[in-house]
């Protein structure tokens, strides 16, 4: 399993980074990104600590650790600035908290994130075909999520991606130990969203390619 969207005690997760990493390693994960919720109030506090952690513990792990952020409820007009600041501070994975069906995310967030060229647009809800086409053009990955609530729109996201060629990947959006899924369960969730076994293999390859691209820089 590769999970590029997780949370620790630096936002609303329940585990310190070391325990989250150890639990993922015990499940034979190949890569894990720490992407705690940030906005302009805490970005420069959270990200440097995740970077330090990944650098300190990375060589002791059997999987790749990547420091990142999830820009969350940032006004659409400011998302581009947030992405630039996160990249300047050293974020390897940048996620934006998309227009999920279960939270009052500001309209326009999906398009602003895609325009800014984020790595992953998380749980993008009822993303439009035009937005998905732009994601395909900009190389932005759309997320299929295993997280309850956010997963309500997985089927829609899968269908729109199939029509537009947008890249999909699967993440847990893990906040607690029980959120870390196995490959087998993740595959079932993907199939439940209407994807087939070929789509699932491509999603896994998309996650792997994104990780390899980041560590190759």
Q: How do residues 16-35 score in pLDDT, each as one tens digit?
A: 999 999 999 999 999 999 99
Calpha distance 174→164 (Å, rounded): 28
What pLDDT is recorded for position 132? 98
Output the domain CATH number for residue 196: 3.20.20.140
Average of per-residue pLDDT across 95-111: 98
pTM of structure: 0.97
Calpha distance 176→170 (Å, rounded): 17
What pLDDT is recorded for position 137? 98
Nearest Cα to Cα of residue 186 among 171, 202, 167: 171
Whether the pLDDT of residue 14 is over 60: the answer is: yes
Average of per-residue pLDDT across 92-113: 98
Let me know the angle formed at the C-alpha of 209 by 204 and 210, rounded to the nearest 5 degrees.
Answer: 100
What pLDDT is recorded for position 216? 80
Burial of 197 (0-12, 13-18, 19+ CB in 10 A): exposed
Res. 185 pLDDT band, cuts 50 70 90: very high
Whether the pLDDT of residue 80 is over 90: the answer is: yes
Average pLDDT, the chain: 97
How many helices (H) and strands (E) are present in the chain, helices listed first?
Answer: 8, 7
Whether the pLDDT of residue 143 is over 80: the answer is: yes
Whether the pLDDT of residue 198 is over 90: the answer is: yes
CB 44 within 8 Å of CB 61 = no
- HSE on the CB side for 105, CA within 13 Å? 28
CB 158 within 8 Å of CB 145 = no
Q: How do residues 53-67 score in pLDDT, each as one tens digit?
A: 999 999 999 999 999
Domain that holds residue 124: 2-215
Q: How far is CA 187 from the centre of its chain?
A: 17
Whether the pLDDT of residue 217 is over 70: the answer is: no
Q: How do residues 161-175 score in pLDDT, each as one tens digit?
A: 999 999 999 999 999
CB 5 within 8 Å of CB 31 = no
Calpha distance 167→143 (Å, rounded): 9
Res. 8 pLDDT band, cuts 50 70 90: very high
Domain count, the chain: 1
């Amino acid at each position: 399993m590769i999970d590029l969207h997780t949370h620790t005690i630096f936002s609303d997760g329940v585990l310190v980074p070391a325990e989250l990493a150890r639990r993922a390693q015990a499940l034979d994960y190949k890569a894990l990104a720490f992407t705690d919720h940030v906005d302009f109030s805490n970005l420069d506090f959270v990200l440097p600590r995740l970077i330090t952690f990944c650098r300190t513990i990375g060589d002791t792990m059997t999987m790749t650790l990547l420091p990142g952020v999830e820009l969350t409820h940032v006004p659409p007009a400011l998302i581009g600035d947030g992405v630039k600041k996160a990249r300047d501070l050293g974020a390897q994975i940048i996620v934006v908290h998309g227009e999920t069906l279960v939270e009052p995310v500001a309209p326009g967030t999906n398009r602003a994130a895609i325009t800014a060229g984020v790595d992953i647009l998380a749980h993008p809800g009822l993303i439009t075909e035009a937005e998905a086409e732009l994601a395909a053009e900009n190389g932005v990955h759309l997320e299929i999520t295993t997280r309850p609530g956010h997963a309500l729109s997985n089927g829609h996201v899968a269908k729109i991606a199939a029509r537009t060629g947008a890249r999909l990947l699967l993440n847990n959006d893990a906040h607690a130990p029980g959120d870390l899924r196995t490959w087998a369960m993740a595959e079932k969730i993907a199939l439940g969203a209407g994807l087939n076994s070929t789509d699932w293999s491509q999603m896994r390859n998309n996650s792997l390619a994104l990780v390899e691209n980041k560590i190759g820089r």
